[in-house]
Amino acid sequence: MEKLEYDAVIAGCGVAGLYTALHLGADKRILMLSKGDLESCDSMLAQGGICVLLDEDDYDTYFEDTMRAGHYENRKESVDIMLRGSRAVIDELLALGVRFAKNPDGTLAYTREGAHSRARICYHKDITGKEITTALLAAVQKLPNVTIREYTAMTDILTEDGVCRGIKAQTADGEPFFVYAKDVVMATGGIGGLYEHSTNFPLLTGDACRIAERHGVALEHMDYVQIHPTCLFSEKPGRSFLISESARGEGAILLNHKWERFVDELQPRDVVTKAIHAEMEKEGVGHEYLSFEKIPEQTILEHFPNIYQRCLDEGYDLFKEPIPIVPAQHYFMGGVHVDSHSMTTMPHLYAVGETSCNGVHGKNRLASNSLLESLVFAKRAAAHIEQNEEESGS
C-alpha cells in the first residue's frame, strides 16, 4: 500500500479547504484531496453572496439577526469572531481578484436577504460561490507547496494514542493509500447526498461525521438540517436548482395557486419553509410559486442572469410568469464539534466549513453567513496549526 508523508493534509477543495491551504506557511508540504472533480463542491453553488459587517454601528444589528435566525442557540463567541473577522476576509478576496458588485463610485454594492435588517451582502451576479471558489482555487494552484489530487476520498483517519497522525484515502479505482501528516483538516462539506431532494452535490454524504464518530470525536447538533424555501420545482431527477434568497431580498414574492401572497418573504428560512409546506398542504399541491414581477427587468438580467437562464431552459420566463418552487434540503448546521480555532476533540484534527459545527449558525443559518463562516474559521484553523508549530519548536 502506498504511504505518503506531508506536513498537512486537507480533505476537501471547497472554500474552507482552499482558504486553509492559502493561510498555512509556504514552508509546509500540503496535500489536498477532492472526492470528485474540482468543480463538484458545494462552494461553487452558492448564489446569494457573502455577508460583511458594514461598520461598528452595524455590529449589534448583525449579531442579533444571526442569533434570531439561529433561534438563539448560537455560540455567541463564534458569532462575534465571525463578525469581527468579516471585513478582513472581504479585503483578502478582493485582493485575490474576486469581482464583487460595485456602485458607480467604486464602493461595494450590498444586497439584502431574508432575516437581515440591512443590506450587508457582497455578491457577484447570482454565482458568488463560483466566483470566490474559482479565485481561491487559482491562488492555491499557484502554490508550489500544495499538491491536489482529484477523485480521491478520505475514508478514515490514522491515530496513535488518541492523536490524529494522518488519513487513509482511496483513489477512483478503489486503491487505498495512507497519508501521514502532522495535521489533518476535514473540509468534506455537508450531507445533502443522503437526501432525495437536495441542492447539494450527490457526493456530499457526511464522510467526516461518520469518520469522527468511529473514533469517538465529538459531534454536535446532527439534527440541525436547513431546508431552503425556494428551489425550482422539477419532475426531473437529480440535484435541486436553488433560487437565491437574494431574489426575495430584491422583491420577489411567493404566491399560491390563487395568485395570493401568503407569507412575509423576508422572514428566516425555516419560517418561510414552514409557511410554504402549510400552504401546499392546504391547497393539496406539490409546489407553490415565486414571482419576479416586482423586480425590474434590468435587475434580473444583471443580478440574476444564471437563474434567469436556467428558468428559461426549464420553460419559464421570469419576465412573463411566476416559477414553480418547492423547499429542498440545503444546509447542515451541525457536524463535527470544533472550538474557536476549528480544532476537534482530537489533537491535530481540525474541521472547517459545513463539515464542522462551531455554533455560529445555531439551529438555523442566516442567509449568506455560510461562505463567511467557512472562510473566517478556516483562517483560524491555519493560524492555530502555525501557532502550535511555533510553540513546539518544530
- Are the CB atoms for 360 and 78 separated by under 8 Å? yes
Residue with cell 455554533: 359
Question: What is the end-to-end Cα distance of the chain in Å, rounded?
Answer: 28
Whether 87 sits among the annotated catalytic residues: the reply is: no
The b/e string for 325-348 (b: 16+ C-beta within 10 A; e otherwise) is bbbbbbbbbbbbbbbebbbbbbeb
Residue 246 and residue 243: Cα distance in Å, rounded? 8
Provide long-range contacts, Cβ within 8 A and 24+ apart, for 17-20: 17/185, 17/187, 17/352, 17/353, 17/378, 18/133, 18/136, 18/137, 18/139, 18/140, 19/136, 19/374, 19/375, 19/378, 19/379, 19/382, 20/185, 20/187, 20/350, 20/352, 20/378, 20/379, 20/381, 20/382
Beta strands in 123-232 (DSSP E): 146-149, 153-160, 163-170, 176-186, 219-220, 225-232
Q: Strand, coil or helix: what is 45?
A: helix
**Residue with cell string 481540525:** 350
Distances (CA, A) of 215 to 125, 155, 164, 222, 337: 42, 13, 10, 16, 13
**Active-site entry in 269, 310, 365, 380:** 269
Q: How is the chain split among helix, strand and coil, in percent rounded to 5?
A: 35, 25, 45
In which order are the strands placed within the sheet that holds 335-337? Answer: 219-220, 335-337, 356-357
- Name the nearest CA neighbour of 146 among 250, 16, 9: 9
- Which positions are catalytic? 269
